């Protein structure tokens, strides 16, 4: 495993502190394990086994591999404490093992891909989560984490930015983005039903623009697009005027937040995980990439490509007071530092191509 990745996991463990010890000797099931964030969770479990735990975590990793991958620089596929199973979560899954924790991260999160696979995007969340929670009802785990999304808020008005968990959202149910946005909203409804009716300790997490090592070069989300263009000497294309704003949360902060939510979050609740500072326009983000790259870049305005699900929210910034107060979540990686690390990651990838 590259030293760079080892350092990432070391940082997550430092952030978690004693919270990490709640995972020792447990079995964790991860749906969507082949994705960007799922890879990090598997890798973190293996890192904890190598460096901290006497009793190892056993990981059951599930992915249908539509957009995810089975191999990764983040974990060892032949690890005896890893079962990686190619399986569609839309079909019920059974295992003879007891399960202590479950993460349902199965989703198609890139706009280009969920425009291409709209029904798969919808069913991975709705049917996949229902089957997962049925399994949880039988296995009675200590905690279940449902990966919802900040997209459930839609396009909040200025008075609801930063956005708290109490904001109910302003979302279209018929746009090209609806297959993703609405599936995440329905997923939270399913989660609260299973908590209220069956006592399943399921918690929803709403990530805000997670980024970092592990994102594929061709991911098609904004930061991979910009960074890959910079390294390739290509034009950075900004859709329309680039005035829409976002905050970006680096993976070590995000994974820390996810694990804290899994083991400390209150059942039936939802938590924003992201950063509540450095809100930046897409145009200024391109300039920030130029600054991190250290040389002038060709930055141009462009129309959205054909098939791209337009309708981006004008602003997105979370209020993370609830996660800070209840979970001890305290993100600390600046955008400048995160971009430098992302450039290092993509340079490593491109060197291996």
The pLDDT tens digits along the chain (353 residues) read 678 899 999 999 999 999 999 999 999 999 999 998 999 999 999 999 999 999 999 999 999 988 777 778 899 999 999 999 999 999 999 999 999 999 999 988 777 778 888 998 999 899 999 999 999 999 999 999 999 999 999 999 999 999 999 999 999 899 888 999 999 999 999 999 999 999 999 999 999 999 999 887 777 789 999 998 998 899 998 987 889 999 999 999 999 999 999 999 999 999 999 999 999 999 999 999 999 999 999 999 887 766 565 567 899 999 999 999 999 999 999 999 999 999 998 888 777 65
Contact yes or no for 156/163 (Cβ under 8 A): yes
Give yes or no: 271 in active site.
Answer: no
Q: How far apart are CA 213 and CA 333, in angstroms?
A: 14
Q: How far apart are CA 209 and CA 140, in angstroms?
A: 31
Does 303 reside within a domain?
no
Domain CATH code at residue 62? 3.40.50.720
> Residues 180, 211, 329, 346: which is the catalytic one?
180
Q: How far apart are CA 264 and CA 328, in angstroms?
A: 9
Task: Tell me the sheet residues that pair with 63.
Answer: 86
Q: What pLDDT does residue 267 have?
A: 98
Does 31 reside within a domain?
yes
Does 242 reside within a domain?
no
pTM: 0.95
Q: What pLDDT does residue 262 have?
A: 99
Q: What pLDDT does residue 236 have?
A: 94
Q: How far apart are CA 92 and CA 88, in angstroms?
A: 8
Does 299 reside within a domain?
no
Q: What pLDDT does residue 307 have?
A: 58
Q: What pLDDT does residue 112 have?
A: 77
Does 301 reside within a domain?
no
Q: How far apart are CA 280 and CA 284, in angstroms?
A: 6
Token readout for 250 is: 């680096």
Contact yes or no for 211/8 (Cβ under 8 A): no
Does 221 reside within a domain?
no
Q: What pLDDT does residue 111 have?
A: 77
Task: Supply the range of the domain harboring residue 188.
Answer: 3-214+249-277+319-333
Q: What pLDDT does residue 132 have?
A: 98
Please give the distance of CA 74 from its chain centroid, rounded to a whole number.
15
212 burial level (CB within 10 Å; 0-12, 13-18, 19+): buried
Q: Would you call 331 helix, strand, or coil by DSSP?
A: coil
Does 307 reside within a domain?
no
CB atoms within 10 A of CB 10: 13
Q: Is the dihedral of CA 184, 180, 219, 83 positive or negative?
A: positive
Start-end of H helices in 83-221? 111-116, 118-139, 178-198
Total count of domains within the chain:
1
Q: What pLDDT does residue 308 have?
A: 60
End-to-end CA distance of the chain: 17
Token readout for 36 is: 């960007």
Q: How far apart are CA 325 and CA 264, in angstroms?
A: 11
Q: Would you call 158 helix, strand, or coil by DSSP?
A: helix
Bridging pattern class, strands 280-281 and 245-246: antiparallel
Q: Would you call 67 helix, strand, or coil by DSSP?
A: coil
Q: What pLDDT does residue 66 have?
A: 80
Does 346 reside within a domain?
no
């Amino acid at each position: 495993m590259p030293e760079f990745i080892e350092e990432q996991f070391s940082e997550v463990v430092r952030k978690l502190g004693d919270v990490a010890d709640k995972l020792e000797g447990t079995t964790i099931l991860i749906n969507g394990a082949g994705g960007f964030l799922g890879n990090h969770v598997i890798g973190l479990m293996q890192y904890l086994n190598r460096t901290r735990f006497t009793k190892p975590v056993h990981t059951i990793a599930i992915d249908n591999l539509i957009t995810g991958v089975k191999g990764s620089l983040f974990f060892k596929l032949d690890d005896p404490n890893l079962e990686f199973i190619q399986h569609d979560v839309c079909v019920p899954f059974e295992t003879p093992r007891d399960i202590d924790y479950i993460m349902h991260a199965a989703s198609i999160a890139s706009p280009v891909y969920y425009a291409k696979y709209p029904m798969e995007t919808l069913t991975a969340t709705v049917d996949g989560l229902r089957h997962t929670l049925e399994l949880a009802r039988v296995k009675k785990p200590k905690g279940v984490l449902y990966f919802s999304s900040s997209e459930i808020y839609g396009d909040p008005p200025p008075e609801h930015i930063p956005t708290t968990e109490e904001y109910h959202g302003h979302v279209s149910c018929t746009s090209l983005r609806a297959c993703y946005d609405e599936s995440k909203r329905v997923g939270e409804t399913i989660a609260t039903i299973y908590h209220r009716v069956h006592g399943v300790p399921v918690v929803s997490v709403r990530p805000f623009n997670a980024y970092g090592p592990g994102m594929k070069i061709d991911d098609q989300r904004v930061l991979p697009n910009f960074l890959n263009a910079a390294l390739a000497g290509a034009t950075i294309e900004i859709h329309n005027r680039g005035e829409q704003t976002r905050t970006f949360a680096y993976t070590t902060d995000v994974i820390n937040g996810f694990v804290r939510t899994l083991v400390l979050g209150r059942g039936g609740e939802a938590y924003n995980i992201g950063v509540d500072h450095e809100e930046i326009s897409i145009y200024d983000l391109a300039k920030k990439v130029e600054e991190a790259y250290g040389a002038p870049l060709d930055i141009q305005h462009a129309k959205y490509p054909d098939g791209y699900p337009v309708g981006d929210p004008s602003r997105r910034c979370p209020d993370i007071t609830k996660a800070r107060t209840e979970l001890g979540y305290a993100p600390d990686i600046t955008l400048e530092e995160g971009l430098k690390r992302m450039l290092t990651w993509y340079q490593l990838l491109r060197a291996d191509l």
